[in-house]
Amino acid sequence: MTTLLETRGLTKNFGGVVALDHLDLSVASNTIVGLIGPNGSGKTTFFNVVTGIYNVDTGVVVFDGTDITRAASPTIHRTGISRTFQRSRLSLPLSIFDNIMIGNHTRLTQGIWFNLMRRRAFMREFEASYLAARRLVEVFEPRLVERMFDPVAGLAMIDRRRIEICRAMINQPKLLLLDEPSAGMTHEETTALMDDILQVRALNQHLTIVIVEHEMSIIERITDHCVVLNFGRKIAEGPYRQVATDAQVQEAYLGVT
């Protein structure tokens, strides 16, 4: 398999706390990788470093053959990496369509001249953007298609999560990073959202996903490969059934001593 994302010796410190400790990690193209570990093990920090939110202290991040270690977040986004956040980042007063378009801002033509004077071109871009957003939403929840201009404040938590994933996917990323997408949802809602993600993956064979989750049933169900972190270090990797029986994983993550 071709490696899409690779980190070598990745280290991130916050004062005296080592969040990532010389982490070597690779993600193969066209796979779903589960990133698991106890709270504080470095999972979200890894996402934040890869997407340029945090600067790396030492180490290298290579994406699709390009060194992005010191790249800014907008540049990383343009290379084909999108993400969601554990805590919702939707703008609740804005519509479903507007929230999704926030994720596509790097592709949209901006500026007063274009918006006011080139009205036909503006309408063509708007219509293309609307159709793209509508197609995404329809994959997740067809009934939301008729609510594209409703504020997201009126949506249930699972639908908000769906819109967040749509926002991350609107720019057609190569790599999608999902940070605890089931947070705040019931078991039934979580199952439905995982069904959605699997359907999206089936429709986008070239999409690679890394998912952070605490629900092991989710990881077992949807991932091809798992990486387990503890104190910023990789302690195990492989198929879920393999890592779940690893003694270090059971001690660190499952609380088995």
Q: What φ, ψ does residue 140 adopt, rounded to 5°?
A: -80, -50
What's residue 36's pLDDT? 92
Per the structure, the complete domain to which residue 253 belongs is given by 1-80+173-257
86 inside domain: no
189 inside domain: yes
Same domain, 131 and 105: yes
68 inside domain: yes
User: Number of structural domains, the chain?
Assistant: 2
What's residue 225's pLDDT? 94
Report the alpha-carbon distance of residue 2 to residue 199 in Å, rounded.
Answer: 23
Long-range CB contact pairs, 60-66, < 8 A, 24+: 60/6, 60/7, 60/8, 60/9, 60/10, 61/5, 61/6, 61/7, 61/10, 62/5, 62/6, 62/7, 62/8, 63/4, 63/5, 63/6, 63/175, 64/4, 64/5, 64/174
Res 256 pLDDT > 70: no
Same domain, 182 and 73: yes
Same domain, 154 and 186: no
Long-range CB contact pairs, 182-188, < 8 A, 24+: 182/213, 182/215, 182/218, 183/86, 183/87, 184/157, 185/157, 185/158, 185/161
Q: How many CB atoms lie within 10 A of CB 161?
A: 27
Final residue before a domain boundary, out of 141, 168, 195: 168
What's residue 175's pLDDT? 97
The upper half-sphere exposure of residue 83, i.e. CA atoms within 13 Å in the direction of its Cβ, equals: 25
Report the alpha-carbon distance of residue 134 to residue 56 in Å, rounded.
Answer: 37
Same domain, 195 and 70: yes
Final residue before a domain boundary, out of 168, 185, 217: 168
Q: How many residues are recorded in the chain?
A: 257
239 inside domain: yes
Same domain, 181 and 256: yes
Same domain, 137 and 15: no
Structure tokens at 50: 């890869």
Same domain, 71 and 177: yes
237 inside domain: yes
Final residue before a domain boundary, out of 114, 139, 168: 168
Query: 28 - beta bridge partners?
Result: 3
pLDDT digits (tens, 9 = 90+) for 90-148: 999 999 999 998 877 665 555 564 555 555 665 677 778 788 899 999 999 999 999 99
Same domain, 134 and 241: no
Same domain, 159 and 48: no
pLDDT digits (tens, 9 = 90+) for 158-202: 999 999 999 999 989 999 999 999 888 888 999 999 999 999 888
87 inside domain: no
85 inside domain: no
Indicate which CATH number applies to the domain containing 217.
3.40.50.300
What's residue 128's pLDDT? 80
3-state DSSP assignment of residue 81: strand
Same domain, 156 and 188: no
Same domain, 213 and 255: yes
Residues 6+ apart with CB under 8 A from 238: 225, 226
pLDDT digits (tens, 9 = 90+) for 43-97: 999 999 999 999 999 999 999 999 999 999 999 999 999 999 988 889 999 999 9
